[in-house]
Every structure is written in structure tokens, then in C-alpha cells.
Chain A
């Protein structure tokens, strides 16, 4: 069975739990004591990922690291509908890759601030991390606002969300744990509410399910 080297409080691991749940793929979590045990830096774990980072998957002997790379792999392999990663559209693939890279920048900023505040990663320059996250959220918010104006619900054009939405979601919705308020990003708020209503959505610690009041986008914009 597919094995996910997993840590509950990791937003990068959560990206994969989300996609696997959306696709209904069975997997087994191998729990890693990321904190306080630092097990991802142990010699044993570095045999699996020399970078000493989570997440990693092992799918029948194929070992892959990096959440975004794994999203590409899992969607290509296990989504027969082809909607989460539409392999036949060069335009969409380009845009998805662009936002996957953007998601890694969210990790480098918003996630870093959260590690600083919650888990005492004291070497992180938290003010710089927060400022960087705000710059990214401003870009994402504007992008989503204009997408909504075009009648689009998701980061990349089309009826269906893609792995770009999955990659950007966790550390955006967890940003407050790093002291990064999202009050100034209403389009991000509406997008994350829509995201939470995707069938198969699961939560992680710190992320709550969508509220009962279904927010109609057009009303919210008006």
C-alpha cells in the first residue's frame, strides 16, 4: 500500500492527505516525530530523504519527496478523471506549475513564521517571513478576485479545482498561527470557504470545516 511519511501538524503532509482523500486512495501513514523528536533529521530518515524534510511517499518502491512533486505524481497516477492535473492542456500545466512554485514560497514564509511562533524555530527572521507572506497573499488575493470576476472559482481556469489549489491551501489557512492575519484578503477567504466544500475535504489540527452558512460568491462580492 502507498505509504506516507506523515506528521499531523505539517501543512505539507496535509496537502497529500487532502489529495488522497479527494481521490479516495487508500494509504498508510508512517508517523514521524517531527517535533520535538526531530526524527526527520535522524540518520535513518536521511536514508529516505537526504534533505531531512517531510513529506515523503513510498509507492511500491518509488520514493518521492517534496509535496508539490508528490501532488503531480499522485494526481497523474490516481486521478482517472484527469481533472486535478489535466495532462493534456499545456496552458493549464504551465499555470499549475507556476502556482506550485508559489505554494513553496508560501511554505518558506507563512510556514516559517508558524514554526517560529509555535515550535520555537528561533533562527527564523519572523518579521521578514511575515512580510514575505503578506506580499504573496496580496498577489493571491488579487488573482482570486479577478478570477471571480471572470466567473472562476479556482486558482487555475476551469470548472474543477487543481493541485494548485491544494498546494496553496494549508499554509494560507494556517497563517494566523504565525501571526499573519488574513483580514485584508477577502477573496482568499471566499476561496478557502469554497475549497472546504470540495467533496472529500478533510481537516487537520488547526483547520476547521466550512461553516454551515454556504456563502454564495456573487452575494459576497456584491
Chain B
């Protein structure tokens, strides 16, 4: 392995989603970047996805620079280090009646923690996703619970409620929607929201962020829905419309890296999960994409 530019051992020793499996169908060599390390990937003759630290030589091949690969949730994942833990579970993904759809992978000029924090924030719905995920005057973020599960090492925000004009592609009108958010990985988050078509069950939306560097990322968006009505394109484009609205907001946040200093916290209710997230990152010693608390 070449020497890594990323010096944050926490970030190095994580698993990252790199591309949807449907994008790695043949022997074409594709390139990307993870934590400033150029990587390449392809499907080999045996039919397996192979990933390696790329050096750009003609005929560059994995050799001793091959990286570990796992296939999970329709993507392949890799790591530059030696993760102690497996990729977090999303049990719903395996349920037989779900539609599991890769919505898109988008490049964003923002840090990974800024994306996670935006994903957790319900307060922006009426203003950024007007008439879809929120609308005035329904702007209040009601009291919700946040806990850090020691056992699973993840943040859980529950009992979140929000009135939404059009919660999903399958919605037929406004509804009070219940949300649960998980942050099971410093740069991934999974949300559960009431399904418009299946009472009592949840649609699942996950973001898996692949940091190119500390201020530029690629975000992979997975949908796992209970929806027999919409076609894949409608479902995909609904999610892309939402994300396209977030993108300029994300790219205009300053500083680009997420400040972890407790004095940078704003104590409003909507930010309760954000505060938990920042503290959790601090506690883990995550240094990538953040401004660490000053000693």
C-alpha cells in the first residue's frame, strides 16, 4: 500500500460504499477516490468485484495493492485500513416485499459530516423542500428522543414527527409522518419514515458517503420502500429532486468542515440530534471532515 494522505485512523479503518453493483458489470476498469487515495475497480474473470489502490501505471492491476471488498445493500464496499467491525446492519433490506433501489450517487462539494447533519435535520423541510417534505406554517420540530446505543455504537433519534405534503413518490396527500434516524457510521445514516402505502411499516432511506477528501464527497442513496405503485424511475427521480434541493445548501455551508467545538453548538430543539452527532464524532476522535475541538 502507498502511504495514505488521510492521517485519521478512525476514518481509515471504516468500510465505505464505492459504487452500486449494477455499475460494475464488466471488466472495464473504473476509477474513483477514497480519502484522497485514488482507487480503481472492476469485475474480474471469476465474476468478483476487485478494488485496488491505483497508481496510474499502464495496465495498472491489483497486485499487492488489492483492497478488501464486501457486497452489501446493492453496493460494494471497501476500506483502506483494517476495520474492527463489520458494516452495520439494515435488516429491512432483506424483507421480501421491499423495493430496494439505488437512487443515485451524487458528487457534492461539502464535507461528509455536513451531509449527515443535514440528513438528520427536519427543521429545513418547509424551507428547502417546500410543498414536498414540508410547508409553512407547519414548521415546528416537535420534541423527540436522542440516544446513543453503546452496544451498537450508533445514534438513534426517535419519535420525530413532521407534517409533510408529499412524503414519498407514492403519497396521495399531506400526512403526519413519523421518523426514526440512525447514525451507525460516522459518514452514513439510515432513516425510517411512515410508509404512505403500508400502515405501521416504514420506508427506509440510507445515505452512504464516500469522502473524496475532507471537503468533497460522493453520496450513494439507497431506497428500500414499500411501494407497489410507482415505477423505479418515479421513485428514483423523487429522491433526486429532494437531494437536488439540498445540494446548493450543503455546498454553501461555512466552514465546510463540521466544527466539533461545543461552543459552536446552537441549542435549539431541531439541533438535538446534530449535537449528539457532533459529540459522538468527538468521542470517537474522528478528525476527517471536521474542525476538532480546540484543546
Query: CB of A108 within 8 A of chain B?
Result: no
The one of B102, B218, B237, B251 in contact with A7, judged by C-beta atoms closer than 8 angstroms, is B237
Interface of B: prevailing SS: helix
Residues from chain A with a CB closer than 8 A to the CB of B102 are: 36
Query: CB of A31 within 8 A of chain B?
Result: yes
In this complex, how many residues of chain B approach chain A with their Cβ under 8 Å: the count is: 26
Query: CB of B232 within 8 A of chain A?
Result: yes
Residues from chain A with a CB closer than 8 A to the CB of B20 are: 36
Contact B236 A33 (CB under 8 A): yes
Contact A36 B244 (CB under 8 A): no
Contact A37 B107 (CB under 8 A): no
Contact B233 A33 (CB under 8 A): yes
Q: Which of A36, A117, A119, A179 has the most CB of B within 10 A?
A: A36
The one of B31, B107, B233, B247 in contact with A206, judged by C-beta atoms closer than 8 angstroms, is B247
Interface of A: prevailing SS: loop
Contact B245 A205 (CB under 8 A): yes
Query: CB of B45 within 8 A of chain A?
Result: no
Contact A118 B107 (CB under 8 A): yes
Give complex CA distance A208, B249 in Å: 10
In this complex, how many residues of chain A approach chain B with their Cβ under 8 Å: the count is: 22
Contact B244 A205 (CB under 8 A): yes
Contact B104 A31 (CB under 8 A): no
Query: CB of B234 within 8 A of chain A?
Result: yes
Could you name 28 residue pairs across A and B whose Cβ atoms are closer than 8 Å?
A7-B237, A8-B244, A9-B240, A9-B244, A33-B232, A33-B233, A33-B236, A35-B104, A35-B240, A36-B20, A36-B102, A37-B233, A37-B236, A39-B233, A118-B107, A119-B106, A119-B107, A120-B105, A176-B248, A177-B247, A205-B240, A205-B241, A205-B244, A205-B245, A206-B244, A206-B247, A206-B248, A208-B248
5 closest cross-chain pairs (CB), A and B: A205-B244, A33-B233, A8-B241, A205-B245, A118-B107
Mark B residues whose CB is within 8 Å of A.
Answer: 20, 23, 31, 102, 104-109, 218, 232-234, 236-237, 240-245, 247-248, 251-252
